[in-house]
Structure 1
Amino acid sequence: MKIAMIGASGFIGTRILELLCKESAKYDCKNIDLAPSLSFNNITTIGDVRNQHQMDSELHGFDLVVLLAAQHRDDVTPTQLYYDTNIGGMEVTLNAMEKNGIKRIIFFSSVAIYGLNKDCPNENSPADPFNHYGKSKWQAEQLLAKWHKSHPDWNINIIRPTVVFGEYNRGNVYNLLKQISSGRFLMIGKGNNKKSMAYVGNIAAFVKYIIENITTGYNVFNYVDKPDINMNQLVSIISQTLDKHIPAIHAPYRLAMLMGYCIDAFAKLTNRKTTISSARIKKFCATTEFNSDKAHSSGFNAPYNLNEGLMRTIKHEFKTQSSN
């Protein structure tokens, strides 16, 4: 099977390629990305998902597309880039697939389409995105749904992962784990807000499962590794894994949000990006639980449970630092 990965030079895409390329007799993979791949540059072509002519050429001869390319940071400017890439890139990809006779796509969307503080939404829950990332992902999904109505013979699979963590990740979860493991951590609020999380090793395995087993129809899957844990439990897991006491200091939510707004104003005045913002504080304190029964009842068996994924990540990233 010839698989075109679009935007797979990053954290999640690299793990998917690691899994698929182990079976080179079964899968022939290619990566198309704006950035080179540290691990798979030999199968990577520098390309832009927004370029129709280029995508028409790059997708020639493939059987399936895995679309990961996206603008996803909280602070992308101008905000139109979210829509140009996340929606425009989808439209370009679908047109290129049609021109090349490709009828299977796996699209990485996000649970961000549901919005904040929802009551454990499942795939049928209404969309209510609160930021440009979530809005653009939802509009990309709507484009796929409309496309499927006129292309009912296509196999379209949408994965809405929750926050993803794992070895070599340098995103928001890594920054949070690093801050907690340092012992210089301030818990905002009571710490009882639960967080749905997903280990990257399980996400990669789920993609492989879909490729091999879910080959017809239009399907949408939330992906979460259960059971959910709250922030206090996360601190406890890190403390136990590193065998290190981590002080539990709590700050009132309202005071933290006021500080966040001040940092936002500073960032706007100085045109600088900051690691703390009101949006990130709001996300940190939100309860973000999502229902993932559909994925886990599909026949897929996750190779790791959530605690195993967290411990593998913490040991890999911070155990050496902690022992020095």
Structure 2
Amino acid sequence: MKTCVIFGGTGFIGSHLALYLINNQLADHVVLADIKPIRSDFTFDSSKVSYANIDVRTPISAWNLPASVDLIANFAAVHREPGHESHEYYETNLPGADNVCAWAEKVGCNSIIFTSSIAPYGPSEAEKTEESIPTPVSAYGGSKLAAEKIHMAWQKADQTRRLVIVRPGVVFGPGEGGNVTRLVKATLKRYFFYMGNRSTRKSGGYVKELVNTMWWALNEKVPATGGSFLYNFTMKPPSVEEYVNATCQVAGVSRFVPSIPYRLLLIGSYLVEAVTRPFGISTPISPVRIKKLVRSNNIQPYVLTKEKYPFKYTLETAFADWKNDRPNDWKA
């Protein structure tokens, strides 16, 4: 493959895909197309990776993008939840899908990888697979499901086109800076606690495994003559306690993790929000986040298992690899 353009390319997953393609000599040139610059915590060979300032919310017609492209990865999205008004998810994620697909048609690119989310399934203690009917309860989940349909329509308009749609759970690893990073740091620094969520299942997987599944899906499961492939990306969903235990095992430490009543914490989060919201103060303590912590996302990797994808990482080996890459993320 000569050229790949990654929309949303300077994000966590986009940066890792670029490294994967270049380090494994799967692409000669990767363009990171995004409204944010290349992250300082990733190092790229400037002769092989370039940056283009692109906003997918508007029609894509830029001098700084290649005229010929072999692969497009569309990771551009408003995704942080909470953090945005409901309309913002739709105003970015739907036009973004339309504009990326239109640009693919314009430059004659017949291969797209699109990252959706497990959010279209909605929260549930029951197991969900790719055969489950999506029932999104959030604007993020609804917008991602609609964006999937836009990409599917692009593929069906020309049966020679090739499409991979992946629905990731919580993706963690070097440079994540999100929920799992916070859990690791809080556990090691002794301020993590349970709130009736020891057994809550959180579907997720390692970012290096994710990009590996993308390449596997595109090259092993989508015919060269055209077609599509949709799958959930997660390991067998670990519980919150299993995340904590794996953190301690990999860090080589022992931690006592106390429990705090969920209702007490929820009431406290409402009080904090009531005080801070009028002043526009952002805080990680919000009722939405607290509720998410006790709700399972029990999404199963049914298709990956059925198609015998060769998983490379367990939760423990993924954490160990992450620690090896970014020791500072694991300082107690």
Q: 1:90 matched to which residue of 2? A: 97
RMSD over equivalenced CA pairs, Å: 2.2
The amino acid that maps onto 1:144 is: H
Q: CA deviation at 1:76?
A: 3.2
**Size of the alignment, in residue pairs?**
321
Q: CA deviation at 1:319?
A: 7.5
Pair 25,162 (structure 1): closer, same or farther in 2 beyond 3 Å:
closer
Structure 2: distance between partners of 1:74 and 1:190: 20
Q: Counterparts of 1:144-159 in structure 2 under 5 Å?
A: 144-159=151-166
Q: CA deviation at 1:200?
A: 0.8
Q: 1:220 matched to which residue of 2? A: 230
- Among residues 236, 247, 253, which one is paired with 1:238 in the alignment? 247
Structure 1: distance between partners of 2:330 and 2:162: 45
Q: 1:12 matched to which residue of 2? A: 13
Q: CA deviation at 1:59?
A: 5.4
Partner of 1:213: helix, strand, or coil?
Answer: helix
The amino acid that maps onto 1:219 is: F
- Among residues 201, 210, 219, which one is paired with 2:217 in the alignment? 210
Structure 1: distance between partners of 2:287 and 2:61: 39
Q: 2:322 matched to which residue of 1? A: 313
The amino acid that maps onto 1:222 is: N
Give the alignment's TM-score, normalised by structure 1. 0.91
Q: 1:129 matched to which residue of 2? A: 136
Structure 2: distance between partners of 1:320 and 1:56: 42
Structure 1: distance between partners of 2:36 and 2:189: 31
Pair 24,44 (structure 1): closer, same or farther in 2 beyond 3 Å:
farther
Q: CA deviation at 1:141?
A: 1.1
Structure 1: distance between partners of 2:197 and 2:172: 23
Structure 1: distance between partners of 2:102 and 2:88: 20
Q: CA deviation at 1:170?
A: 0.8
Q: Counterparts of 1:168-317 in structure 2 under 5 Å?
A: 168-215=175-222, 216-226=226-236, 228-314=237-323, 316-317=326-327
The amino acid that maps onto 1:214 is: K
Q: CA deviation at 1:26?
A: 4.6
Pair 279,58 (structure 1): closer, same or farther in 2 beyond 3 Å:
same
* Native 8 Å contact 2:5 2:72 kept in 1: yes
Structure 1: distance between partners of 2:93 and 2:259: 37
Structure 1: distance between partners of 2:151 and 2:95: 12
Q: CA deviation at 1:221?
A: 0.5
Q: CA deviation at 1:128?
A: 1.6
Structure 1: distance between partners of 2:286 and 2:62: 36
Question: Is the helix fraction higher in 1 or 2?
Answer: 1
The amino acid that maps onto 1:217 is: G
Q: Percent identity?
A: 26
Q: CA deviation at 1:241?
A: 2.4
Runs of at least 5 residues in structure 1 that lack an aligned partner in the other structure: none
Pair 118,276 (structure 1): closer, same or farther in 2 beyond 3 Å:
same
Q: 1:143 matched to which residue of 2? A: 150
Give the alignment's TM-score, normalised by structure 2. 0.89
Q: CA deviation at 1:145?
A: 2.9
- Cα-to-partner distance string for 1:177-213 (whole Å, 9 max, x where unaligned): 1111111122111511122220011011112223322
Structure 2: distance between partners of 1:178 and 1:204: 25
